[in-house]
Structure 1
Amino acid sequence: MRRRLSYGMVGGGPGAFIGDVHRMAAELDGLARIAAGAFSSDPERSAAKGAEIGLDPARVYGSYGEMAAAEAARAGNDRLDFVIVVTPNHLHFDVSRTFLEAGFHVVCDKPLTTELGDAEALCRLVAAGDRVFALTHNYGGYPMVKDARHLVRGGTLGEIRRVQLEYFQGWLATPLEETGHPQAAWRTDPARAGVAGALGDIGTHAHHLARYVTGLEVEALCGELTTFVPGRRLEDDASLLMRWSGGVRGTLTVSQVAAGEENGLAIRVFGSEGSIAWRHGDAETLWHRTPDGRARARRRGHGWISPEAARASRVPPGHPEGFIEGFGNLYRNVISTIGALDEGRTPDGAELDFPTVWDGARGVHFLERAVESGRRGAWVDARYEPPGEPPAEREEPGESTR
């Protein structure tokens, strides 16, 4: 790539957590720099954030509409290359649509939208244009998750039989939203978070992780959604039985009221010839077990891990990598893809390794099906094909996973 790209950010104002994470990750490899932002719907707060990170005050805006119009009028290398959307969920659709229609590439935090119709509208908009749209399911950026994908899809485990998922947090074990905590307030508010609470906030990560590692899709599910904290308007705990394509079975357990847990994401995949296990608390280790009782700890940074995992590793073994680097791997691929298009070449497969708008639509559909199942107390059909999804996106699992 011949030049460093420039980007803008919508959301991520003073007191926000994830906006700063996105900014650090986008700039980790020196491939992009922030040049503009509408960091808050409050112009004063937006200006304060712009001043904090040293932006030109003329490119700090009080609304995303103002930002889109002003930045679209710029030309050449003075124009933004892409925009990062890190607002509460209810704004994802309109902000993303606004910048796509203004001609910008977009990177959006998950979930894609709060309603499936809006997600499908974005799918059609992306399919009809030439803009890159990425969704930040960052756990797919971890080296050993990529190693797990390599083993599962490459047939090392034989015929896949079961996928077990869990994601436990404890930060909402008390009614934190009643204290004025900004993150808790919007994540437990249906008007801003959407139809799901814990499932929408963290369950979608587990759903995408399983799809990314296995190449399978959920065909049916049966869920129990529970709200443990009195007065809370969305579920804070959920358990799902899941039937995946090819006859594979599995479960997903998710909770944000698991007192004492911090960020307990984990996946286990069981096949006829072995299994793999990865958990976020020990993200540099992937366990590979075989039917004869042998267990091998595959560690990041060593020469015998898969090429995909090696490409995603940044430092030698013994020097821990984690959350920011996982995000950074995703951003490196997105930025490289945008750069390739800018240079008039076709991005390669490694560059295209990031979640798309169609992955986002699948996630929203999954949430709606899970909520419906919880309300009905019954199995529901979860099969789905997003509109406009190109054939290359519908990567079929290998024969070994069927």
Structure 2
Amino acid sequence: MGMVGGSLDAFIGAVHRRAAAFDNEIELVCGVFSQTPEKSKATGKALYLSDERVYTSFEEMIQREKELPEGERMDFVSIVTPNHMHFPPAKMALENGFHVICDKPMTLNLEEAKTLAGTIEKSGLVFALTHNYTGYPMVKEARDMVRSGKLGKLRKVVVEYPQGWLSKYEEGNNYKQAIWRTDPAKSGAAGCIGDIGTHAENLAEYITGLKITELCADLTTFVEGRLLDDDGNILLRFEDGAKGVLHASQIANGEENSLKIYVYGELGGLEWHQMEPNTLKYKTQEGQRIIRPNVGDLSASAKAHWRMPAGHPEGFFEAFANLYRNFAFAVKAHINGEEHDPIYDFPGAEDGVRGLAFIDTVIASNKSEQKWTKFVQ
């Protein structure tokens, strides 16, 4: 693996590196960790990389790695930069024969996302998008319960993602994460909706297997001086007649990382909370059942993504690691000319395009005088 972004003072870079290393399927061999050469070199040294494999730009890294003999050069690039720097290294890596795993959203805007999706298809290479919440075993179980008809025909989906960390004007306090995430030039056209609303949208579509067809959005920027939305409330219409509500906020004072989803069908309902990830509730009018990893008869997919005996908690890092492991399996299969086992799934280009289309549709709906706006990608 080669990495773009993720210097020592970047939170998400360390998360990606730990997730990638978790299953001993991936070795970090090179990187350009910052636009500042000194910071990139210092990060490489701290990670025990040889000086000649720590680069000053992604262009240099891709070109130099391509010149190395097969078996010595990197096999793929992990992109963990702010949003505006997803598209350029991803496109160049794919065009030069390297697989790509990229943080979400896939690109800065929908036009770039569609272009990158075309590049991925043309290259025939493996691309993964780190919607990491899909990596939890109980999310897999929820999806498989819906697929098996356990809930019957779906009627209602409620997904919410409240955070409180931007309740104040943090971007004015030299807070790096707040600065770029609220800057349209680096984050894109949306703030809260692009950052965490897309996670909620992706999780809802992943578990239900239904695509959003229309939505009605109300966005607000509550904090004075902020350039992008920090709160959103969205009504959803799914294919096959299901209705939904999506609420995302970064000014929900006192909230941490409280992603939750509720799915209701004719026969029963499901409930899952990210902050209690090893518990899935299955509910009917006759009562409710608590479903836990490695307890009872779970789906093959859930079993494939749980590592420990029952009662041993797993969480955020393991779910993130599941995506990297599954991606590594797909890259290995590609290298060996083999078929990749679909049980080891991960989000891809279509999820990325839909995420950017979701952002655009939400913004258009918020500006429109009409009640409903069609979801078009």
TM-score (norm 1): 0.92
1:131 is paired with a residue whose SS is coil
1:349 is matched with which residue: 338, 342, 353? 342
Measure, in 2, the Cα distance between the counterparts of 1:150 and 1:340: 25
**Displacement, 1:341?**
1.3
* 1:298 and 2:291 aligned: yes
Measure, in 1, the Cα distance between the counterparts of 2:62 and 2:99: 12
**Equivalent residues of 1:108, 1:136 under 8 A apart:** yes
What is the match of residue 232 of structure 2?
238
**Equivalent residues of 1:222, 1:377 under 8 A apart:** no
* 1:29 and 2:23 aligned: yes
**Equivalent residues of 2:164, 2:250 under 8 A apart:** yes
* 1:213 and 2:198 aligned: no
2:12 is matched with which residue: 9, 18, 24? 18
Measure, in 2, the Cα distance between the counterparts of 1:309 and 1:338: 22
Deviations 1:304-352 (A, max 9, x none): 222111111111122110000001111111000111111121112113x
Measure, in 2, the Cα distance between the counterparts of 1:143 and 1:276: 14
Measure, in 1, the Cα distance between the counterparts of 2:147 and 2:263: 11
**Displacement, 1:377?**
4.4
* 1:365 and 2:363 aligned: no
What is the match of residue 327 of structure 2?
334
Deviations 1:2-49 (A, max 9, x none): xxxxx0000001210111101111110001110000000000000010
2:350 counterpart letter in structure 1: W
2:247 is paired with a residue whose SS is strand
1:153 is matched with which residue: 147, 150, 153? 147
1:313 is paired with a residue whose SS is coil
Deviations 1:61-118 (A, max 9, x none): 1111111111111121101111000000011111110111111000000001111111
* 1:60 and 2:57 aligned: no
For structure 2, which runs of at least 5 residues remain unmatched after alignment?
A: none
* 1:318 and 2:311 aligned: yes
1:362 counterpart letter in structure 2: R
Two-structure CA RMSD over aligned residues (Å)? 0.9
**Displacement, 1:383?**
3.8
1:142 counterpart letter in structure 2: Y
**Equivalent residues of 1:303, 1:310 under 8 A apart:** no
**Displacement, 1:291?**
2.6
**Equivalent residues of 1:111, 1:363 under 8 A apart:** yes
**Equivalent residues of 1:188, 1:234 under 8 A apart:** yes
Measure, in 2, the Cα distance between the counterparts of 1:271 and 1:369: 26
Measure, in 1, the Cα distance between the counterparts of 2:364 and 2:291: 39
Measure, in 1, the Cα distance between the counterparts of 2:295 and 2:369: 47
2:331 counterpart letter in structure 1: I
2:166 is paired with a residue whose SS is coil
2:204 is paired with a residue whose SS is helix
The number of equivalent residue pairs is 376
**Equivalent residues of 1:164, 1:269 under 8 A apart:** yes
Which is worse superposed, 232-241 or 114-123? 114-123
Q: Percent identity?
A: 47
Measure, in 1, the Cα distance between the counterparts of 2:310 and 2:276: 13
Q: How does 1:66-81 map to 2 (within 5 A)?
A: 66-81=60-75
* 1:165 and 2:136 aligned: no
Deviations 1:185-210 (A, max 9, x none): 00000000000101111111111101
1:244 counterpart letter in structure 2: F
**Equivalent residues of 1:159, 1:271 under 8 A apart:** yes
